[in-house]
Amino acid sequence: MAQQSRGQQTRARILESARSEFARQGYDATGVAELCQAAGVTKGAFYHHFASKHEVFLELLTTWLNTLEEQSRQVVSSDAPAPDVLLGMARLARLVLADARDQLPMFLEFWARASRDPVAWQTTIAPYRRYRGLFAALVERGIDERSLRQTDPEVAARVVLALAVGLILQGLLDPEGADWGATAEAGVALLLDGLQKKE
């Protein structure tokens, strides 16, 4: 049991060091030797847990995206009317920004890597497609409950996701440029003005 715990601690230390090193000097400039030195482990210990630095990178990316997806699912699973749930998603943006602000370099590294690496691209795009599915289902729910007007749920979902990604990126690149949490809420309110069923 203690050995398993020690192994888990080593793995966690490698991941945390990799997050820091990839953010500091980029994926391409960081080798396994630098990761081992930063984590205080031998290459043998590194390769016991990971087949390559690419595997480490993908695990960091997957963990981050899965966390965002879980937070989104929790909000969407509410029984509240669809417009209220969409506003709840906007409030979630404030939490995402607070959590990610210290990790801007790593966030950008994820996107940059995904643009050049087919495996990283697949890992990145799969959750976004699931987010889109969540939003489309939410819009369909709003149409069924008559709180949202008849519209194409897929198109609405793409617009909601584009708004979310754009706001997060702006908030990370220019944190002092606006109150991005309030901007997210105002943006969703504007979107809802077009989506909500008029009496």
Tell me the per-residue pLDDT of 138-197, one tens digit each, with 9 for 90 and over.
999 999 999 999 999 999 999 988 998 888 888 878 888 888 888 988 999 999 998 886
pLDDT at residue 44, rounded to an integer: 95
Assigned CATH for 1-50: 1.10.10.60
Query: Does the pLDDT at position 90 exceed 70?
Result: yes
Q: Say how many CA atoms lie within 13 Å of 107 toward its Cβ.
A: 16
Residue 148 pairs with which residues in a beta bridge?
A: 196
Tell me the per-residue pLDDT of 103-112, one tens digit each, with 9 for 90 and over.
667 777 888 8
pLDDT at residue 173, rounded to an integer: 83
The domains of the chain are located at 1-50, 53-195
Q: Taking the model in full, what pTM does it have?
A: 0.77
Indicate the residue type of 45: A
Report the distance separating Cα 61 and Cα 111, nearest Å: 10
Residue-by-residue DSSP string for 112-158: HHHHH-HHHHHHHHHHHHHHHHHHHHHHHHHHHTTSB-S--HHHHHH
97 vs 51: which has the higher pLDDT: 51
For domain 53-195, which architecture applies? Answer: Orthogonal Bundle (1.10)
